[in-house]
Chains A and B, each alone.
Chain A
Amino acid sequence: MDIHVSNINKSFDQHPVIKDVTFTIPSGEICCLLGPSGSGKTTLIRLMIGAITAEEGTIHYGDVQIPNLSVLKNVGLMPQNEALYDDLSGEANLYFFGGLYDIGKRDLKERIEEVLAIVDLTEHRKKLVKNFSGGMKKRLSLAAAILHSPKILFLDEPTVGIDPVLRRSIWEQFRMIKNSGTTIIVSTHVMDEVTECDQAALIYNGRLIDYNTVPHLLEKTENGRVEELFLMASTQAKGGEDS
């Protein structure tokens, strides 16, 4: 299911946040939304998922226009903050979110074993989330997002505040999920994560500055370093505003 975003405009309190964004994410790829804080990455994700509606433009998953209640069962979201219930155990959190997708009892139990193993939390399953460490919460949050085997997975800054070792293991999990046929949209402002993705969308000030495969984007830079993409984004945006 390709994701088509066409001519999206969105403003909050008459302040434009997303300006005329158009791009297509091919099915089964990892696409990263790269941009500084406040550039509109989270808003774009919320638009693409159908939580908010755009003033102009349309978003389609294949032929289905978003927002649509029935496509939500094929969509997973890992929000920026953990968004878990502190007073429940890790396992109880998963049982709750899984229950909302109408997964049968036995299937759900099996699937929870599976995702707990994927995020390496099997031994902490009975612990209350309020006693979890930050990294454990992130992993449980990811487990909750992939529980229903979504075809499209949105990850909003999944590795913020995560140490390099854990970050590597989380990215390994993303690749695994991708290999099972899931399209992944991940927002980040961490440079080295870009090279892990297939496509990258550079967002600056609500505008889509560039969108291409990562090798193509890197070719455009002088020394092939990812930081260049970022600096390019800011200078291009300034140039664009002057003209």
Chain B
Amino acid sequence: MMHLAKRVIRQTINDKRSLMMILVAPLLILTLVYLLLGDSDYVPTVGIEKEALPDPLITALEEQDVKLKNLTSDEVKEAKSYLNDHENVDAILSFSQDEKMEITLYEPSTKGANAASEIQEAMTSLNPSAGIEMAYVYGDQDQSTFDSLGYVFLALFSFFLVFIISGMALVRERSGGTLERLLMTPIKRSEVILGYTIGYGVFAIVQAILIVLYSIYVLQLSSAGNIGWILLTMVLLAGTAVLFGATISVFASSELQVVQMIPFTIIPQVFFSGLIPLDLIPYGLGNLSYIMPIYYGAAAIKGVMVYGDGFLEIWPYILGLFIFAFVLFLINTQALKKFRKL
């Protein structure tokens, strides 16, 4: 069994592409996600007709993070066509005939929402009693998307990349005949599967440590709880991914087919991982998440990072992962019977 684990490790180290995929790819993608979802310093441009607006409002707007652009009254009247022709203006603010405020936006996008919220803040500063102060039990209002959803990506990477590598390696063993040769030695079937899991488990541990340290110390993702529990969850999730990859490889006869099955095996798990709050998913489809390993990993990591949970709170998820791993282990040892009945 340890021979097999050692061989898996040596083989993966000799295959530079797999090694990069396990160790460098997650850091690269995390950095990208950080840049894409992190705080943006975009300053929206609002078009106004200075003469038509009260002076205090203009002063209040000038104090906000917006660029103001002075427009003629004709341009404001034809706000929609003006926005159409001028992409650099995000919103036009005006008063309608019945003295109501009117904001015209180009399209429902984050840029527009950004402009609208700046205008609202300007209005609030004029009339403090209309302001609303929001408070959260966990996290705060200024959190970027990356801060509040980062945990999902930790779970996704530790599952997906290990799944791909182990699934492909096992397909190669099946089609290359090495698995048959392996099973013509006195090794037990369960030892084969365990050996694999341990071999890739070593990489999973290194990967988990790298990802967690990188996202907490370099990308400044904050964790309310002990990062040891995050590491434990990620390693368990990656172990499940090895077994999941091995199971999928039973249904594939080439590496290409492993990739072809990603729409069935990985993509649904992404949606049910916690990226979308499960209560928002219609028709009770949210319950599907209970059959997806990534959900358990993501939920445990979220518990630790966001709620500051310890083992007492996350153990049901950990148990869920263990059950998954155990069932997949049994399926795999049964599947090896195709090569040797004993």
Which residues of A does B touch, CB under 8 Å?
A: 49-53, 67-70, 72-73, 75, 77, 79-85, 87-88, 92, 96-97, 99-102, 128, 144
Contact = CB atoms under 8 A, between A and B. Distances in A.
A17 to B, nearest CB: 16
A70 B187 CA distance: 10
B114 to A, nearest CB: 50
B264 to A, nearest CB: 26
A51 B181 contact: no
A67 B178 contact: no
Contact of B178 (A49, A68, A85, A99): A85
Nearest to B14: A87
Given A85-B7, A100-B3, A72 B176 contact: no
A83 B175 CA distance: 9
B176 A67 contact: no
A100 B5 CA distance: 12
Interface stretch (B214-222, B238-246, B265-273, B334-342): B334-342
B120 to A, nearest CB: 59
Given A81-B177, A100-B185, 17 more contacts: A50-B340, A67-B340, A69-B188, A69-B342, A72-B184, A72-B185, A73-B185, A77-B180, A79-B177, A79-B181, A83-B176, A83-B177, A83-B180, A85-B178, A96-B3, A96-B7, A100-B186
B10 interface: yes
B232 interface: no
Contact of B184 (A51, A102, A128): A51
B186 A70 contact: yes
18 contacts: A51-B183, A51-B339, A67-B340, A68-B342, A69-B186, A79-B181, A81-B176, A81-B177, A82-B176, A83-B176, A83-B178, A83-B181, A92-B10, A96-B6, A99-B3, A99-B6, A100-B4, A101-B185
A52 to B, nearest CB: 7
Nearest to B192: A100
A101 B187 CA distance: 8
A198 B11 CA distance: 41
B213 interface: no
Interface residues of B, number: 25
B174 to A, nearest CB: 11
Which of A75, A83, A92 gathers most chain B CB within 10 Å? A83
Contacts of A73: 185-186
Contacts of A75: 184
Contacts of A83: 176-178, 180-181
Contacts of A96: 3-4, 6-7
Given A50-B341, A88-B14, A96-B3, A79 B180 contact: yes
B15 interface: yes
Contacts of B10: 88, 92
A88 B186 contact: no
A100 B342 contact: no
Nearest to B176: A83
Given A67-B341, A68-B342, A51 B186 contact: no
Nearest to B177: A83
A165 to B, nearest CB: 26
A87 B181 contact: no
Nearest to A68: B342
A88 B3 contact: no
Given A88-B7, A88-B10, A96-B3, A51 B185 contact: no
Contacts of B188: 69
A95 to B, nearest CB: 8
Nearest to A141: B181
A72 B183 CA distance: 9
B182 A100 contact: yes
A112 B328 CA distance: 36
B181 A72 contact: no
B14 A51 contact: no
Contacts of B182: 100
Which of A53, A67, A81 gathers most chain B CB within 10 Å? A81
A5 to B, nearest CB: 17
Given A100-B3, A128-B14, A84 B178 contact: yes
Nearest to A52: B341
B8 to A, nearest CB: 10
Sort A-B residue pairs by CB-CB distance and give the 10 closest, nearest first. Answer: A83-B177, A99-B3, A100-B185, A87-B14, A83-B181, A96-B7, A87-B11, A77-B184, A87-B15, A81-B177
